Amino acid sequence: MNNNKYKILVVEDEDNICKFISALLEANGYQAIIAKTCLMAQSMFSSYIPDLIILDLGLPDMDGMNFLNYVRETSLTPIIVLSARSDESDKVNALDSGANDYVTKPFSTAELLARVRSSLRNSRHSADDGHFPGRKFLLGGLVIDYDARRVFLQNVEVKLTQTEYNIVALLSEHCGKVMTYSSIIKTIWGHPDGGSIKKLQVNMANIRKKLRDKPGGSNYIINELGVGYRMNNEESD
Ligand code: CA
């Protein structure tokens, strides 16, 4: 028994999906623990203290949101929500309630594993008091100096406006996590107004141009359509 393995609690009631996910996780060096109801998930969460939770929202006894709220009362354990629902408001609701990420069914194995790696990496960063060594954020060729409020790309300074800088810094502090439009707007501008989404989109378009993000490329900032933005913490290969 190798207890260096990350423990992942899979909360899902459908047998086929359960088997598929746990086989996938075990094959990739993780330990999978299965719970098929909200109540079972609560007791397994306390007894196993998992490193990550993969949570289906449609459970037989209660809505998966109940378990999400239960975990967030006491813990920052990363949670990836598994949703068959195409309704964006469910994802936004789960993210705003503290989920770190979501995957929509049907998903590919590569996609799920990428989200798992990303969430685990994100939680290791956050464990460091939310700060990075020397108050600097490093990601590929991107460097953010939080004290100087300056951003560098391949050692060349990227000239950002104050608002653009604030957005980049916010996303980097939650690197790997999807930030919903409303959570970004609230942090950057305070109370949202009618033009908030448009303002965010305009700023984001400028930021992505300055960071040389291209559609389909290996980008620093990913647009999660209809939901929000995520700073990508996957190593590109
Ligand atoms: Ca289900």
Record the tokens describing residue 165, joined without a space. Answer: 């800088």
Give 140-165 pLDDT, tens digit per residue.
Answer: 889 999 888 999 998 899 999 999 99
For residue 124, pLDDT over 80 is answered with: no
Whole-number percent of the chain with pLDDT over 70: 90
CA of 113 to the centre of ligand 1 (A): 20
Record the tokens describing residue 133, joined without a space. Answer: 């060594």
Shared domain check, 178 and 111: no
For residues 78 and 52, the answer to whether their CB atoms sit within 8 Å is: yes
Residue finishing a domain among 72, 94, 126: 126
CA of 55 to the centre of ligand 1 (A): 9
Q: Write out the residue range of the structural domain in which residue 204 sits.
A: 136-231
Helix 162-173 vs helix 196-210: angle between axes, to the nearest 10 degrees? 80
For residues 142 and 189, the answer to whether their CB atoms sit within 8 Å is: no
Shared domain check, 224 and 188: yes
**Residues 21-36 as b or e (16 or more Cβ within 10 Å = b):** bbebbeeeebbbbbbb
In this prediction the pTM is 0.74
CA of 33 to the centre of ligand 1 (A): 16
Number of domain units in the chain: 2
Shared domain check, 141 and 35: no
For residue 2, pLDDT over 70 is answered with: no
Record the tokens describing residue 183, joined without a space. Answer: 């959570």
Give 84-101 pLDDT, tens digit per residue.
Answer: 767 778 888 999 898 999
Whole-number percent of the chain with pLDDT over 90: 61
CA of 90 to the centre of ligand 1 (A): 14
Q: 117: domain CATH number?
A: 3.40.50.2300
Is residue 83 domain-resident?
yes
Is residue 81 domain-resident?
yes
Listed residues: CB within 5 A of ion ligand 1: 13, 56, 58
